[in-house]
């Protein structure tokens, strides 16, 4: 029965996919969407150097096909420098180099590779590649480039994941739906930093009115960034091109696109709670899930037998321990604003006479009890008040801005403020809840509109029960600072020493409790249960240790201005021509139709469960049958090792992207990585960097005709290794290591390598020139630098470090004037050159020995006799630091052969 | 300072005797790599004959009220204080009532163009200006609208027009960047350098922002003070040798050669930029005309940028962008007159009017206006109604507003397009920024649909998938 429904669903999907893709379906046989099958490893062409590494077989076959011959193996110095920068992002030390040169065993190189892959530095290097792909930064970007204080845990998650060699399937699943798929692992929640890594339009999504078109547009664009990040990174598909119309070149329909929008319709970017302790994490997530269900009025939960039992127990406990209140007999009562407070027979104080705009009542009394645990404030109606009160405003309302309790013990010189907590009231005006009378913010307040004309009460608990020495005076302060006469007309105060929960029930719940259980409707039972459960969850959450936060995709977070969790996923419409004013039909969650081996629309048990949507996408992405995922990742890793992917557009395998230079090798690697290596990055690195292809020299030797007329201009077929300019992080970290200043302390909040001042609006002023380069915050690896999206470090920017506003699968490798100026004149280089010189002076005694050591450290080679003469001469005249600065500017330092 | 000319061939031959004498072989390869050695700003031929050689783009940020500057609406005077009778999609608060301009309008020049008394200096230039009164935009939120104005996209991270022009045409001056930005001396615009980003284009096309009024207008331009000229000279020389020897050992690698070239360019810029920003050779009359001696510091600072813009254009810099106005929010240091249009726009106009008019006159007098396009834009206009019922300010308005251009290839004194009688909708010949960009490129001899760059699988353009040349304003 279940099976046939599934079949039917599949059939419907196929039909809709066909109709939606009518004009593009001819593209479905494009190489990227074809099912994966490992091609046979070709035989080595006659006469070529044999290798046991299958990678070399594929490369050799292609070289032979094009009449090319491979370059010889690079010398050991070159090889070590290359593989060190490649795997850990740092140059080899002279000691490592000497050890490698002296190691005559046949597997000396393989052992170096193992050492590098085992180094924690490896994760730091490869996490940064992933941060580029995810366009990770630690501020929002846009016009309100606010700091994300809690973005860094995702960076640490990446470093740990690479160092732990997390299988790729798990890595992908965690970053798309880790909270749902691995609820017991707190780090799987941190992984959701991926979805939130990109920019966020705070002014449109938090500040402007909810009903503006700009807000709605911003929502679609925000999800657009999420789905683009996911689909480009994991599936190398430019699905975002189908926002306004079916993709012009690839088999992606507009329906596919909006189906992906629907996957992310229940999450926002926000600070998400997690706990480092897995047990606490699970407990808190359970409680939060339950709290969401309560908020969503989930009847299955609220009317369950278990809940009913809990409510009954609660009622019994409440009936067994009624709270008794002792009315306070006010001794002095002062209105700062000039009203007259008059004591009534029932112990209340009636305000008459002057009605100021704002007022503060200070009421003092001897305590009727020897100890107290809570205070009750009643606000009573009176015929003399507008609309019977209880407030003095024309409509009978009031606003209590802040409530305070102080005590004056006999002999004390000053009053002591007593901390209060857990405020509750029988009625809260919308957005003017009782908690606002205790939030320390005088601009917010408690009110009771539209329930004027009746009595109300609020209760404040003491954080700790308070014993009162005889003769102690209690002082109550009622600040009412909203203005326009929003003042309490007739307050009455009482205290209690009860040790049970003091919480006041909302009026309508008091009425429900008064009804015999059998007479309560389901609505009434649900209402009461929501309150009882909600309070219990609140107390349970409060009892847990303080949580950690990560800036991540979130469906449950503290509201911030008009940014609020969606509760259930928001409705996603197909937008005609991508225009917000032309919403068409509602679209349900799904993904690409062109991967025909997998269903493109998700069958979800509960459409309101947003997590299930992401989990379904994660499963689709990591399915064995999804050819995009496996081709995408091996190509991405290849790109970083060889400077260029087998497909040179790592984020686009579509018709407008590159075509694979070695399609068979790409497929072989994809299948090998998926099945043999079980998604192990380290295995993949090992396979690639131990290949003869990788170990080739980067130098094209002495064939003048070929230099003028290269047979393979872009070196697509890899007849030699590519020479690569060091990226910004490698330059930065190598300068620190060579200067002897690199601090290898890992993880934690990012180093802010700038001076930070408040800006005129949200975006702060950031000055990188005022940063003290010599300070400790400037010594760690650059992966721990704080990344400002709109205000990037000009030094790193000059070296093509991306700012995080665009997905960057491949960095620019530019050589610019700004870059030359930065390396010549920037304080980072200049100061570290001085440290480098000091190091040389410590470690070597003669001028020649210092130059020798400098060449070893910077270039990984010995200085020639001529160079020794030149550089010692230069040092004599201009100083050693100047020499060091010069070496940092040399091409030989900045390029890896 | 590196004073001798860095003649590449000269130093390579000289250093050929340096480390191992292998450089000569490399030189042969270098011939084949001449393209890589060429300046990254090497001028590229336009696609068809260009009307203009270069651009000065003045960005007035915050949303300049069209109905208080260039778009005269007598109907607002008649219906002042009345309900507008139509639904307003306001940005911040409830729609108010129609508000006549508190500024007096008059016709000026032979063309008889209307300008309010807010801009007396520019009023004297109207016969050189080409107005587009029928602008409309995609967003009424500052930053997306500003990005759209500069890059054709409401999102950040796309190359700005200046970067596209640098990429498409290079520069006439190989010793200065092709795209220079002069931010408001009070503050950078919202989004900072993202406003002049190269996006995915090669980094060399990023706008180079000159820090206002500083001796060292470009980061890291100056040699650290503790490094003597002799020391620097010797270091440069030794580095050249080291790099030449390295290049010789790796023949055929264009990146190595390009990097050597970048150091030469850097040395040139170290020479040229200080001379460029040194204004002492300008006459007192010129400085005074721009307002460099203005008692208002914001005016004087902006005037300095306008004068710098002329000097940059004079030296062949392809695209100069001047910002009038800083970040959005309070206190207002831009045209965002929510609270009080009179107070805000008077203050802003004071900073902009005289310097921009002086720039136009100066360009014209030097014959530069015939080959330069001066483009003045704002990201959107302001509502013809007040913000809030009894408000004194105006809210953001994207459906109709005014920009203008002047110079090469344009019809001077023209008023193109129109809004409706209260200045709400662009009703006659509506124009979007895509069209403005397409027209700007056309004036420079570039077909906007053909200036493309492949990025992440998409052929990107300045005009996205839109844009039509506004033929009606071309001479």
Chain A: closest CA distance from residue B317 (Å): 16
CA distances from A259 to A250, A554, A574, B82, B350 (A): 16, 19, 9, 47, 52
Residue in the block written with tokens 């960057």: A808
Q: For residue B28, how many other CB atoms are within 10 A of its CB?
A: 13
Residue in the block written with tokens 């197909």: A574
Inter-chain touch B238–A874, beta carbons under 8 Å: yes
Inter-chain touch A886–B18, beta carbons under 8 Å: no
Tokens of A729: 């992080």
- A726 three-class SS: coil
Residues in chain A predicted with pLDDT less than 70, given as ranges, are: 1-28, 701-710
Please give the interface size between A and B, counted as residue pairs whose CB atoms are below 8 Å apart. Answer: 232
Inter-chain touch B28–A707, beta carbons under 8 Å: yes
Chain A: closest CA distance from residue B191 (Å): 5
Interface probe with B: pick from A229, A243, A252, A816, most Cβ of B within 10 Å: A816
End-to-end CA distance of chain B: 47
Cα B92 from Cα A375, distance rounded (Å)? 41
End-to-end CA distance of chain A: 63
Closest by CA position to B6, among listed B187, B261, B259: B261
For residue B255, give the chain A residue with the closest CA.
A815
Q: What is the pLDDT of residues B318-357, one digit of tens each?
A: 999 999 998 766 567 899 998 899 999 999 999 999 999 9
Inter-chain touch A761–B192, beta carbons under 8 Å: no
Inter-chain touch A141–B31, beta carbons under 8 Å: no
Contacts of B21 (CB under 8 A, 6+ apart): none
Closest by CA position to A269, among listed A198, A166, A175: A198
Complex ipTM, two decimals?
0.77
Inter-chain touch B235–A649, beta carbons under 8 Å: no
Cα A315–A319–A320 angle (5° rounding)? 115
Handedness of CA B92, B98, B99, B105 (dihedral sign): positive
Q: What is the largest CA-CA distance in chain B?
A: 87
Strand partners, A417: A406
- In chain A, what residues touch B457 (CB-CB under 8 Å)? 238, 241, 649, 651-652, 654, 656-657
Please report the pLDDT score of residue A168 as a whole number. Answer: 98
Cα A293 from Cα B262, distance rounded (Å)? 62
What pTM, to 2 d.p., does this model score? 0.80
Cα A761 from Cα B332, distance rounded (Å)? 10
Q: What is the pLDDT of residues B274-293, one digit of tens each?
A: 888 889 899 999 999 999 99
Cα B451 from Cα B95, distance rounded (Å)? 42
For B54-226+283-473, give the CATH class: alpha beta
Handedness of CA A616, A618, A623, A629 (dihedral sign): positive
B50 close to A (CB below 8 A)? no
8 Å CB contact between A24 and A250: yes
- In chain B, what residues touch A201 (CB-CB under 8 Å)? 143-144
* CA within 13 Å, CB half, A666: 26
Q: What is the pLDDT along chain B (475 residues), one digit of tens a residue?
A: 333 333 433 333 333 333 433 333 333 333 334 444 466 678 888 888 999 999 999 999 999 999 999 999 999 999 999 988 777 665 555 678 899 999 999 999 999 999 999 999 999 999 999 999 999 999 888 888 999 999 999 877 789 999 999 999 988 888 888 999 999 988 778 767 778 888 888 777 888 888 766 667 888 888 888 888 888 888 888 998 998 888 888 776 667 777 777 787 788 888 888 888 889 899 999 999 999 999 998 999 999 999 999 999 999 999 999 999 987 665 678 999 988 999 999 999 999 999 999 999 999 999 999 999 999 999 999 999 998 777 899 999 999 999 999 999 999 999 999 999 999 999 999 999 999 999 999 999 999 999 998 876 678 899 998 999 999 999 9
Tokens of A770: 């005022």
8 Å CB contact between B316 and B177: no
Crossing angle of helices A94-102 and A847-859, in 10° steps, is 80
CA distances from A383 to A96, A377, A489 (A): 91, 20, 10
Contacts of B80 (CB under 8 A, 6+ apart): B98, B99, B100
Inter-chain touch B199–A806, beta carbons under 8 Å: yes
8 Å CB contact between A585 and A228: no
- A776 three-class SS: helix
Crossing angle of helices B229-249 and A865-878, in 10° steps, is 160
Inter-chain touch A763–B238, beta carbons under 8 Å: no
Cα B238–B243–B245 angle (5° rounding)? 100
Domains, chain A, ranges and CATH? 34-90+108-118+630-722 (no CATH), 167-275+552-622 (no CATH), 326-499 (2.60.120), 827-896 (no CATH)
Tokens of A570: 């928001």
CA A680 to chain centre: 24
Inter-chain touch B19–A232, beta carbons under 8 Å: no
- A548 three-class SS: strand
Q: Is B452 left (phi over 0), alpha (psi -120 to 50) or beta?
A: beta
Q: What is the largest CA-CA distance in chain A?
A: 113
8 Å CB contact between A373 and A466: yes
Tokens of A872: 């010692």
Chain B: closest CA distance from residue A115 (Å): 30
Nearest to A649 among B256, B327, B457 (CB): B457
Closest by CA position to A127, among listed A780, A747, A897, A895: A747
Cα A181 from Cα B290, distance rounded (Å)? 66
B 264-303 residues inside an 8 A Cβ radius of A: 265-266, 269-270
Closest by CA position to A817, among listed B261, B360, B115, B274: B261
Inter-chain touch A830–B222, beta carbons under 8 Å: no
Q: Residue ranges per domain, chain B? A: 54-226+283-473
Please report the pLDDT score of residue B92 as a whole number. Answer: 55
Interface probe with A: pick from B140, B242, B379, most Cβ of A within 10 Å: B242
For residue A855, give the chain B residue with the closest CA.
B242
8 Å CB contact between B224 and A869: no
- In chain B, what residues touch A812 (CB-CB under 8 Å)? 202-203
Helix (H) or strand (E) holding A809: none
Q: Are strands A765-767 and A755-757 parallel, antiparallel or unpaired?
A: antiparallel
B139 close to A (CB below 8 A)? yes
Please report the pLDDT score of residue A7 as a whole number. Answer: 33
B190 close to A (CB below 8 A)? yes
Inter-chain touch B220–A818, beta carbons under 8 Å: yes
Closest by CA position to A115, among listed A87, A142, A144, A141: A87
């Amino acid at each position: 029965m279940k099976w046939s429904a599934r079949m039917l669903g599949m059939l419907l999907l196929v039909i809709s996919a066909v109709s939606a893709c009518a004009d593009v379906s001819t593209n479905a046989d494009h190489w990227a969407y074809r099912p994966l099958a490992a091609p046979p490893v070709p035989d080595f062409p006659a006469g070529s150097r044999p290798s046991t590494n299958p990678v070399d077989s594929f490369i050799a076959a292609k070289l032979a096909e094009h009449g090319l011959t491979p370059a010889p193996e690079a010398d050991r110095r070159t090889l070590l420098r290359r593989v060190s920068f490649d795997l850990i992002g740092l140059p080899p030390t002279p000691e490592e180099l000497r050890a490698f040169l002296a190691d005559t065993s046949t597997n000396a190189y393989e052992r170096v590779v193992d050492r590098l892959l085992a180094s924690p530095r490896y994760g730091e290097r490869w996490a940064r590649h992933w941060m580029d792909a995810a366009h990770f930064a630690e501020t929002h970007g846009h016009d309100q480039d606010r700091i994300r204080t809690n973005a860094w845990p995702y960076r640490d998650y990446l470093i740990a994941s690479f160092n732990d060699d997390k299988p790729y399937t798990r890595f992908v699943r965690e970053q798309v739906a880790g909270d749902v798929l691995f609820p017991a692992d707190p780090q799987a929640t941190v992984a959701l930093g991926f979805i939130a890594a990109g920019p966020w339009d705070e002014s449109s999504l938090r500040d402007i009115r909810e009903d503006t078109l700009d807000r709605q547009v911003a929502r679609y664009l925000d999800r657009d960034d999420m789905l683009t990040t996911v689909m480009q990174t994991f599936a190398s598909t430019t699905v975002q091109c189908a926002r306004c119309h079916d993709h012009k070149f690839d088999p992606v329909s507009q329906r596919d696109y909006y189906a992906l929008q629907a996957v992310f319709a229940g999450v926002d970017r926000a600070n998400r709670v997690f706990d480092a302790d897995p047990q606490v994490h699970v407990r808190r997530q359970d409680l939060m899930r339950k709290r969401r269900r309560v908020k969503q009025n989930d009847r299955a939960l609220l009317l369950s037998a278990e809940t009913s039992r809990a409510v009954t127990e609660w009622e019994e406990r409440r009936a067994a321990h009624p709270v008794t209140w002792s009315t306070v007999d006010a001794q002095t009562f002062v209105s700062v604003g000039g009203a007259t407070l008059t004591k009534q027979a029932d112990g209340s104080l009636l305000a008459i006479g002057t009605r100021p705009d704002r007022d503060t009542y200070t009421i003092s009394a001897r305590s009727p009890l020897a100890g107290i645990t809570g205070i009750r404030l009643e606000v009573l109606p009176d015929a003399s008040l507008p609309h019977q009160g209880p407030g003095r405003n024309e409509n009978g309302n009031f606003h209590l801005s802040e409530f305070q309790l102080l005590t004056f013990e006999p002999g004390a010189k000053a009053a002591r403020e007593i901390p209060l907590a857990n405020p509750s009231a029988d009625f809260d005006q919308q957005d003017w809840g009782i908690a606002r009378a205790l939030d320390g913010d005088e601009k917010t307040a408690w009110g009771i509109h539209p329930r004027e004309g009746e009595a109300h009460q609020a209760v404040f608990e003491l954080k700790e029960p308070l014993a009162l020495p005889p003769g102690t005076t209690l002082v109550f302060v009622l600040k009412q600072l909203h203005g326009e006469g929003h003042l309490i007309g007739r307050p009455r105060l009482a205290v209690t020493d009860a040790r049970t929960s003091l919480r006041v029930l909302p009026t309508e719940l008091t009425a429900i409790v008064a009804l015999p259980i059998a007479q309560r409707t389901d609505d009434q039972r649900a209402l009461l249960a929501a309150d009882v459960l909600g309070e219990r969850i609140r107390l349970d959450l409060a009892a847990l240790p303080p949580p950690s936060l990560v800036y991540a995709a979130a469906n449950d977070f503290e509201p911030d201005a008009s940014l609020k969790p969606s509760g259930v996923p928001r409705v996603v419409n197909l937008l005609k021509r991508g225009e917000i004013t032309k919403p068409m039909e509602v679209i349900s969650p799904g993904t690409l139709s062109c991967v025909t081996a997998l269903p493109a629309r998700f069958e979800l048990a509960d459409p309101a469960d947003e997590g299930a949507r992401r989990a379904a996408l994660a499963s689709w992405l990591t399915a064995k049958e999804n050819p995009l995922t496996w081709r995408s990742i091996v190509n991405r890793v290849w790109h970083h090792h060889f400077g260029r992917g087998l497909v040179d557009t790592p984020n686009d395998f579509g018709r407008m992207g590159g075509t694979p230079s070695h399609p068979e090798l790409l497929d072989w690697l994809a299948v090998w990585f998926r099945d043999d290596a079980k998604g192990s990055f380290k295995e993949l690195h090992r396979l690639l960097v131990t290949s003869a292809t990788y170990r080739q020299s980067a130098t094209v030797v002495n064939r003048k005709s070929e230099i003028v007329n290269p047979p393979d201009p872009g070196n697509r077929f890899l007849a030699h290794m590519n020479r690569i300019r060091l990226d910004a992080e490698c330059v930065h970290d190598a300068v620190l290591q060579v200067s002897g200043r690199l601090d290898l302390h890992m993880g934690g909040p990012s180093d802010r390598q700038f001076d930070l001042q408040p800006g005129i609006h949200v975006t702060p002023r950031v000055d990188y020139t005022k940063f003290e380069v010599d300070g400790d915050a400037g010594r760690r690896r650059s992966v721990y630098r704080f990344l400002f999206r709109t205000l990037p470090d000009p030094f790193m920017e000059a070296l093509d470090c991306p700012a995080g506003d665009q997905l960057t699968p491949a960095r620019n490798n530019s050589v610019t004037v700004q870059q030359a100026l930065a390396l010549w004149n920037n304080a980072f280089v200049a100061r570290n050159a001085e440290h480098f010189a000091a190091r040389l002076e410590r470690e070597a005694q003669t001028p020649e020995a210092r130059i020798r050591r400098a060449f070893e450290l910077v270039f990984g080679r010995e200085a020639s006799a001529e160079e020794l003469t030149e550089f010692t001469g230069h040092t004599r005249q201009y100083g050693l630091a100047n020499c060091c600065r010069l070496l940092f500017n040399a091409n030989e330092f900045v390029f890896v052969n | 300072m590196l004073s001798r000319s860095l003649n590449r061939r000269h130093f390579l031959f000289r250093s050929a005797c340096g480390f191992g004498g292998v450089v000569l072989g490399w030189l042969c390869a270098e011939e084949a790599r001449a393209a890589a050695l060429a300046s990254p700003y090497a001028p590229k031929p336009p696609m068809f004959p260009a009307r203009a050689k270069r651009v000065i783009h003045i960005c007035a940020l915050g949303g300049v009220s069209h109905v208080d500057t260039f778009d005269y609406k007598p109907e607002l005077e008649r219906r002042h204080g009345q309900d507008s009778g139509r639904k307003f999609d306001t940005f911040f608060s409830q729609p108010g009532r129609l508000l006549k301009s508190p500024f007096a309008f008059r016709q000026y020049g032979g063309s008889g163009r209307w300008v309010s008394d807010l801009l007396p200096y520019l009023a004297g230039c109207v016969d050189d200006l080409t107005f587009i009164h029928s602008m409309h935009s995609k967003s009424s939120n500052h930053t997306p609208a500003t990005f759209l104005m500069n890059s054709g996209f409401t999102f950040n991270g796309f190359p700005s027009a200046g970067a596209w022009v640098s990429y498409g045409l290079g520069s006439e001056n190989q010793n200065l960047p092709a795209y220079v930005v002069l931010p408001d001396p009070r503050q950078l615009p919202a989004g900072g350098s993202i406003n002049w980003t190269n996006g995915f284009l090669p980094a060399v096309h990023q706008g180079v922002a000159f820090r206002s009024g500083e001796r060292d207008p470009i980061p890291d331009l100056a040699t650290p003070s503790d490094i003597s000229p002799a020391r620097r000279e010797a270091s440069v020389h030794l580095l050249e040798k080291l790099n030449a020897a390295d290049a010789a050992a790796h023949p055929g690698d264009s990146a190595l050669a390009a990097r050597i070239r970048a150091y030469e360019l850097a040395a040139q810029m170290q020479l040229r930029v200080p001379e460029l920003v040194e204004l002492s050779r300008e006459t007192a009359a010129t400085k005074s005309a721009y307002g460099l001696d203005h008692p208002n510091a914001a005016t004087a600072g902006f005037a300095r940028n306008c004068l710098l813009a002329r000097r940059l254009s004079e030296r062949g810099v392809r695209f100069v962008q001047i910002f009038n106005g800083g970040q959005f929010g309070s206190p207002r240091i831009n045209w965002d007159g929510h609270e009080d249009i009179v107070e805000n726009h008077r203050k802003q106009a004071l900073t902009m009017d005289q310097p921009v008019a002086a720039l136009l006159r100066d360009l014209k007098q030097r014959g530069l206006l015939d080959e330069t396009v001066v483009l003045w834009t704002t990201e959107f206009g302001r509502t013809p109604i007040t913000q809030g019922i009894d408000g004194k300010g105006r809210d953001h308005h994207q459906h109709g507003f005014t920009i203008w251009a002047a110079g090469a290839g344009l019809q001077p004194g023209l008023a193109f397009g129109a809004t409706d009688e209260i200045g709400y909708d662009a009703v006659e010949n509506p124009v979007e920024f895509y069209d403005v960009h397409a027209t700007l490129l056309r004036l420079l001899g570039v077909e906007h649909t053909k200036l493309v760059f492949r990025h992440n699988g998409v052929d990107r353009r300045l005009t996205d998938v839109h844009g039509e040349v506004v033929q009606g304003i071309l001479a």
